[in-house]
Amino acid sequence: MTRFRLPIGGYIALAIAVAVMVLPLLWMLLASFKGQDEIYSLPIQWLPSSFGGANYQAAADAVPFGSFFLNSLITTVFGAGIKIVLGLMTAYALVFVEVPFRKFFFGLVIFALLVPQQIVIIPNYTLVASLGWLNTYQGIIVPGLASAFGTFLFRQHFLSLPISVLEAAALDGAGHWRRLWAFVVPMSTPTIAAVALVSVVTEWNEYLWPLLVIDRPNMMTLPIGLTLLQNTDGVTNWGVLMAGTVLVTLPILIVFFVMQKKIVAGLTAGAVTG
Amino acid sequence: MTSTATRRRGRMARNWLMFAALAGPNILLLIAFTYKPLLQSFYYSTLQWNIGSSRAISVGLRNYTDWLTDSQTPHVVGVTVVFTLATVGGGMVLGLSLAVLLNRRLKLIGPARTIVVAPYVLSGVAVGLLWLFVFDPNFGIVAAVLGFVGLPSPAWYNDPQWALVMVIIVQLWKNVGYIALIYLAGLQAIPKDLLEAASLDGAGPVRTFRRVILPLLGPTTFFLSVTTLLSSLQSFDIIQAMTKGGPLEGTTTMMYEIYREGFVAGRAGYSSAVATILFVVLLIVTLVQMRFVERKVHYA
C-alpha cells in the first residue's frame, strides 16, 4: 500500500518472527553437543566447545534408540500407508460405485471426524488389551487405521475428475478395481501425496495412544522412548535429553524441508475445502 | 422384461459386493474403533470400575455428580478455559499478524514462510522437552533474556500459574505457523482489484484492513477458531512432557484429567464420565460451526 519507503520495519518484524521460531531449535541442537559444565554455566553460552557426539552416544547407551527408530518407521509406514489405501478405496466406492444409501455411508465416515481418538482411549485400550495386542505393532497401528479425513479429501477430488476417461476405461472392459488403480489414482497423485505426507507427520508424532499400549522399551516409538531420557532421579541431563530430542525431530524436519510444498498443500487442503 | 429386471438385480448385487470390498474395511474399522467405543464410553461412565479389573459396579450417574461436586473440578475447568482461550485467541491474533507480514513482498519471504510452519510438524513431546530447557530458570534462554533487561526469571517449573503460562506459550509457538499459513492462503485469495478500489476511494491501510480484508477473511477465521479450539481442548503431549499436569494441578486440563484418572489413578468409570462431558463440549462446538457454515453458504 505504501511502497515508497524502504520496508525496514517489515524486515525487522520478519527477523524477529524467524528468530523466535529458529532459536529454540538451535538451542536444542547446540545443547546436544555440550558437556554438563557448559550447560550449567552463567552467563549462558551458545556455542559448545566442540561438536563431539558424546551426548548422542550416552543417549544411545541409556535407551535403545535404534529400536525406537525402527518402531517409529514401521508404525509410520504401515499406519500411514494402509490408511491412505483405505481412504482411496472408500472414496472411490462413495463416488463411482452406484449403490443406494451412499449418502448414509458417507455420513458414517464424516461423523467419525466428530469423535476424537482421545475421547475413546479407555474402551479402545480395553479392547486392545483383551486381544493381547499390548506391546505389539498392531496394537499401535490398527485402532487409528480408519481413514475419515483422507476419505473426505479424496472424495472431494474424485468428484472433480473427468468422467469421460473413466467411461472410456469401462467400455474397454476395465473393472472398478482397475479403474481405481490405473486411472483414478494416477490422476490424483498431487492430492494423494499431500494427504500422505500429512499422515506420515501425524503418525510419526503420535504420542498418547502408543504411550498407553506400549510399556516395553524395545517396542517404543521415538516420542515415547524419548521421555525415558527425562529425569528419572530428579536431575535432568539436558545434553543427553537434547541429543535425544534432536534424533526425534531431525528426520521429520528433513522430510518437511525437502517436501515443504506438498506438506503445505496438504495442510491447507482441509481449510480450503472445509 | 423379466430378464432385464434380473440383469439389473444382478448388477446391483455386483455393485454392492464391489462397494463392500472397497469401503467395507474402512467402515468396519470406524465402527470397531470409533463408534462402538464411543457408546461403550457412555456405558463405562455409569460404572465404578478400575481399569484392568474384572469387577464393575453400576453406579448410575454418580461419576457425573461426583465430578460436578468435586472441589477440584472448578479448578480443572478454569485451567481448561484459560488454556483454550489463550491458545485460540492468542493464536488467531498472532497468526493473522504473522500472515499479514508473510504476505508482504520482502526478500527471503519464501524461506521465512517455510521456517515459520516448521514447529507445527514436530512431535509435541520433543517440542515440550526442548522448551523445558529454554525455560530453565537458571540456565535457559528465557532467563537470560529477562536477566538482560534486569528481570528475575519466574519459577516456571514450580509456580502453578507460571507453569500454565509456560505451556500456553509452547502450544502457541508450535501452532501459530499453521494458523498463519491458513490465513496467508485466505489473504492471497482476496482479489487485488478490490484492494486497489479501496485505496482509490481513499481508504488507508488500517481502514482497508478493518473494512475490506478482515470481513473477507471471515470464513477462514471461523474455520481456524474451531479447529484450534478442538485441538486445544484435546492438547496432551506438551503438558505431559513439560508438567504432567502440575505443579499443584496448575496445568491439569480436562483432557489431562481423563488420562490421569483413567490410566494413572485407574478410575476408568470416572475418567469415561469426564471424557463424555468433553465429547459433548466438542460436539456442541462442531455443530455450531456447521450451522455457521450453512448460513454462510446460504447468503453467499
Q: pLDDT for A69-114, tens place per residue? A: 999 999 999 999 999 999 999 999 999 998 998 999 999 999 898 8
Residue scoring higher pLDDT (B57 or B296): B57
In A161-255, the DSSP E strands lie at none
- B102: closest CA among B20, B188, B226? B188
Q: Do A21 and B177 touch (CB under 8 A)?
A: yes
CB crowding A24-63: b at 16 or more within 10 Å, else e: bbebbbbbbbbeeebbeeeebeeebeeeeeebbeebbeeb
- Using N-to-C axis directions, what is the helix angle for A149-158 and A65-96, rounded to 10°? 40
Q: Please tell me the distance from the alpha carbon of residue B157 to that of residue B68, in angstroms, as a whole number.
A: 29
List, in order, residues 6 or more apart from B65 with CB less than 8 Å away: none
- Give the bridge partners for B57, in sequence order: B48
Q: B126 to chain A nearest CA, in Å?
A: 5
B22: nearest CB among A97, A211, A252: A97
Q: B80 to chain A nearest CA, in Å?
A: 15
CB burial of residue B58 (10 Å; 0-12, 13-18, 19+): exposed
Query: According to the model, what pLDDT value does residue B285 have?
Result: 84
Q: Do B133 and A92 touch (CB under 8 A)?
A: no
B122: nearest CB among A99, A121, A252: A252
Q: Is A229 helix (H, G, I), strand (E, B) or coil?
A: helix
Q: How far, in Å, are A105, B176, B207 from residue A9 at the CA level?
A: 53, 21, 20
> pLDDT band at B52, cuts 50/70/90?
confident
Cβ proximity of A208 and A118 under 8 Å: yes
Q: Work out the percent of chain B whose per-residue pLDDT is above 70.
A: 97
Phi, psi of B267 (to 5 degrees): -85, 85
Q: Do B38 and A23 touch (CB under 8 A)?
A: no
A151 touching chain B per CB within 8 A: yes
- A135: closest CA among A187, A83, A211? A211
Cis upstream peptide for A43 (omega within 30°):
yes
Q: How far, in Å, are A116, B90, B183 from residue B286 at the CA level?
A: 12, 20, 20
10 Å Cβ neighbour count for B112?
A: 18
Query: According to the model, what pLDDT value does residue B297 have?
Result: 42
A205 touching chain B per CB within 8 A: yes
Task: Domain ranges for chain B, please list them.
Answer: 2-31, 62-299
> Residue A210's closest chain B neighbor by CA?
B237
- A141: closest CA among A203, A226, A86? A203
Interface test with B, best of A33, A120, A125, A128 (most B CBs within 10 A): A120
> Residue B125's closest chain A neighbor by CA?
A223
- What's the topology of domain A63-229? MetI-like fold (1.10.3720)
> Residue B262's closest chain A neighbor by CA?
A122
Determine how β-strand B47-49 pairs with β-strand B56-58. antiparallel
- Residues B67, B70, B71, CA angle at the centre, nearest 5°? 150
A14: nearest CB among B106, B130, B240: B106
What value does the CA radius of gyration of chain B take, rounded to a whole number of Å?
25
Cβ proximity of B38 and A119 under 8 Å: yes
Q: Do B268 and A97 touch (CB under 8 A)?
A: no
DSSP letter for each residue of B192-222? HHHHHHHHHTT--HHHHIIIIIHHHTHHHHH
> pLDDT band at B27, cuts 50/70/90?
very high
- Give the bridge partners for B267, in sequence order: B50
Rounded to the nearest angstrom, the gap between the alpha carbon of residue A17 and the centroid of all alpha carbons in its chain is 25
- Give the bridge partners for B50, in sequence order: B267
> pLDDT band at B208, cuts 50/70/90?
confident
Query: According to the model, what pLDDT value does residue A25 have?
Result: 96
CB burial of residue A81 (10 Å; 0-12, 13-18, 19+): middle
The answer, yes or no, to whether ipTM is higher than 0.95 is no
> Residue A98's closest chain B neighbor by CA?
B15
- The secondary element (H helix, E strand) that includes residue B28 is helix B2-30
Q: Please tell me the distance from the alpha carbon of residue A246 to that of residue A238, in angstroms, as a whole number.
A: 12
A118: nearest CB among B123, B182, B255: B255
- Using N-to-C axis directions, what is the helix angle for A238-258 and A54-62, rounded to 10°? 100
pLDDT digits (tens, 9 = 90+) for B210-229: 888 888 898 888 889 888 99
pLDDT digits (tens, 9 = 90+) for A185-207: 999 998 999 899 989 999 999 99
Query: According to the model, what pLDDT value does residue B298 have?
Result: 37
B30: nearest CB among A148, A201, A252: A148
- What's the topology of domain B62-299? MetI-like fold (1.10.3720)
Region B7-18: mean pLDDT is: 87
Find chain B residues with C-beta within 8 A of A236's C-beta.
Answer: 132
Cβ proximity of B182 and B116 under 8 Å: no
Region B46-73: mean pLDDT is: 91
